[in-house]
Structure 1
Amino acid sequence: METRWSRWRQARRLRSGDGRPMPRFRWWQIFSRSVFAIDLRGPDGRARNHCVDVRPWGDRDDGEVRARLYVDGALELVSRVPARFPVPGGEIEVAVGSFGMKRCHHVGDDRTSTPLTPHPRSAEGRRAHLDRAHPTLSRTVGAVSLALVLVGLCLALPPIIEPISQIPPIAESVGTFESPVDLPLWLEITLGILAVLGSVERALRLRSTWIDDLAS
């Protein structure tokens, strides 16, 4: 549950845009740029296109991760992430994680949440196309990604739990814990890389959570 303090901070991050047009999406930006869109009808009854443009790895100038809101192709608002843009009928919430986008949803005044549609040329858009065109393959890829992340989580937890269990009050009450996992270094590195790949795939579907950060 977000606090009033969190919402206040996000509101303070908002900056007015200068109306410049949204740059075209280039093929080489497939892994460095995320663009999502939704049409929203305003009080005047007119439907307007709202696009959120994010460079998940940071802007080229200063490395800061910002979300930009374009309305009918013109820059209207800019905010550091996590961002919350006021729009007709609610807000657009934007969040970025370690492996890409975590959230880009329109949250209505009635609290209904609708994901924005990814640009078809973006990595997220291509992953969404796979889901529509080949749903069985898409589910298989998703299941494999989740399995890789869970394996990474199982490898990450013991080294965290072991030193904690050696704290005297904890050791006296529940005993110490010794990691049962003793894998060769090459295998640990391989499984770690696979966990990262699984987390990246989940981020393309806006499914990334704290589990991905811990596992990878």
Structure 2
Amino acid sequence: MQRYRWWQPLSRALLHLDLPEDDGRTHRWSVDVRLWGDSNGEILAQLYRDGSHRAGSKLPALFRVPGGEIEVVTSGYGLRRCHYVPDNGPERQLVPDPASAEGRRARLERRRPALSRAIGAVSITVLLVSLVLGVPQVIEQVSHIPIVAERIGSFVSPIQLPAVLNVGLVVAGLVASSERALRLRYHWLLDGGLFDGDD
């Protein structure tokens, strides 16, 4: 497995799971996801055991490991889920590599919990505002498609924002969704709404 490089925070997710096995030793299982895809644009998850490659899969991925399975799912902004689901007992999220963007965000959460909560709250607020302001405008655009207008009529949004504010809304939504992806947070309405093609 390649070492995590300083230039990869936006393009690579690397998470680990330490599992005791039948040989009496604890082995490190790692999931490596290149978020921008391979040369064909396909996003794959690679599974390693103590640094040696064991399996690869298209996403969503399900890897069998001792005592359970590792589930890996992405959204349009990063990882949506990377959890160990044991045959018996509660599931748990894999631990992000300290050098990764997810690892740095987790470190901020440990060291500055109040700041971390504030950033999380701002992310949710931005997504909620984007949803409230953006949905009526999207409905208006869709309702002006001739076939839709003929069947159900046209809709005029009560909210009309200038183009600059709409662009700002989209950019803020992308940043907020990316921040949530660094914490592997996902809600179908917030993170699967206006900005994410993945639901």
- TM-score, normalising length: structure 2: 0.88
- Asked if the contact 1:37/1:117 (under 8 Å) is kept, the reply is yes
Contact 1:152–1:195 (Cα < 8 Å) also in 2: yes
Find the counterpart in structure 2 of residue 45 from structure 1. 24
Which amino acid in 2 is paired with 1:195? G
2:96 aligned with 1:118: yes
* Further displaced range: 156-165 or 113-122: 156-165
Does the CA-based 8 Å contact 1:149-1:215 persist in structure 2?
no
Unaligned runs of 5+ in 1: 1-21
Residue of structure 2 aligned with 1:80, choices 58, 74, 81? 58
Question: Cα offset for 1:45?
Answer: 3.2
Identity of aligned pairs, percent?
Answer: 47
After TM superposition, which residue ranges in structure 1, 4 or more long, deviate above 6 angstroms? Answer: 165-169
Q: How many Å separate the matches in 2 of 1:111 and 1:93?
A: 15
Equivalent residue number for residue 129 of structure 2: 151
Counterparts of 1:94 and 1:159 in 2: how far apart (Å)? 34
**Of 23, 31, 42, which residue of structure 2 is paired with 1:64?**
42
- Amino acid of the residue matched to residue 87 of structure 1? V
1:45-84 Cα deviation digits (max 9, x unpaired): 321100000011112x322100000001100010011100
Q: For the structure 1 residues 164 and 41, does the alpha-carbon distance in structure 2 shift closer, same or farther, using more than 3 Å as the test?
A: farther
**Could you tell me whether the CA contact under 8 Å between 2:69 and 2:86 is conserved in 1?**
yes
Cα offsets for 1:83-105 (capped at 9, x unmatched): 00001111000011101111110
User: Residue type matched to 1:49 in 2?
Assistant: R
**Distance in 1 separating the partners of 2:54 and 2:170:** 41
Structure with greater helix share of residues: 1
Preserved contact between residue 93 and residue 107 of structure 1 (Cα < 8 Å): yes
SS in 1 for 2:192: helix
1:94 pairs, out of 72, 78, 83, with: 72
Instruction: Pick which of 184-193 and 153-162 moved more.
Output: 153-162
Contact 2:14 / 2:97 at 8 angstroms: preserved in 1? yes
Task: Indicate if the aligned counterparts of 1:151 and 1:195 stay in contact, CA closer than 8 A.
Answer: no
Query: Do structure 1's residue 127 and structure 2's residue 110 form an aligned pair?
Result: no
Q: Is the 8 A contact 1:156 1:214 kept in 2?
A: no
Give me the whole-angstrom Cα distance separating, in 2, the residues matched to 1:155 and 1:42: 52
Residue pair 1:58, 1:66 contacting (<8 A) in 2 also: yes
Pair 110,161 (structure 1): closer, same or farther in 2 beyond 3 Å: farther
In 1: Cα distance, 2:133 partner to 2:37 partner:
29
Question: How many residues are matched?
Answer: 190
Say yes or no: does 1:214 pair with 2:193: yes
TM-score, L = length of structure 1:
0.81
Within 5 Å, which residues of 2 pair with 1:156-171? 156-162=134-140, 163=142
Deviation of 1:167 (Å):
6.2
